[in-house]
Amino acid sequence: MEKYDVIIIGGGPAGLTTALTLASANGKFPFVEGKNYLVIYDEYSDLDKALLNNVPGIEKGTLGKDLLERIREQVSEYKNVKFFKGKVVKADGEKGNFRVYLEDGKVLSGDYLVIATGFHKFEISGLDLEVVPHPKSPRPNKIMIKHNDNKVRDGIYVAGLVAGEPTMFACASGSGAKVACDILSEWAGKTVVVHDVPNDQ
């Protein structure tokens, strides 16, 4: 069974930013050396149908599907991240020994789980999570997973819309970065953020 330090379920802005932030810590902190990450993504993200005119640093008129592809390419530059296309139907276990079951029968193992599956529905069985109405959705019948500061319980985090964030790219992406920093901080035993500076600074 393949084993990962963090399995991220969801390949939209929140999931990809979680992976990017975790992966980019490699080489900066000794406690991340040798750690590996997996992003499991399904066919579709809400970003696929977006037109982005108000995202800081992103050119006005950028198509969401194009930005999503660029972010995937950016994350793929880090060799400690793998992508797996598939649908998660079940997950169980506890911190240090989670198992994730895919529709095709494949089973993966991870120390941590990050759920970034959006706000339309949550159909992954086995984790006994509390699904509640999304408090900030402009549309009815959307959901979130109940959590405390993005942590559902030991080893399980939620990011993006399923964490109750507003349906804006910057909010979802920022939530993913926060979750990654929370995990890194847990590993370090102190607050950790991942910054880079130019070589001449």
Structural domains in the chain, CATH included, are 2-188 (3.50.50.60)
Is residue 163 a contact partner of residue 129, using CB atoms and an 8 Å limit? no
Rounded to an integer, the average pLDDT of 78-98 is 97
The pLDDT assigned to 46 comes to: 87
The pLDDT assigned to 200 comes to: 73
pLDDT in tens, 140-190: 999 999 999 999 999 999 999 999 999 999 999 999 999 999 999 999 999
Determine whether 186 is exposed, middle or buried from the number of CB atoms within 10 Å of its CB (0-12, 13-18, 19+): middle
Give the pLDDT band (50/70/90) at residue 2: confident
pLDDT in tens, 17-62: 999 999 999 999 999 999 999 999 987 788 999 999 999 999 999 9
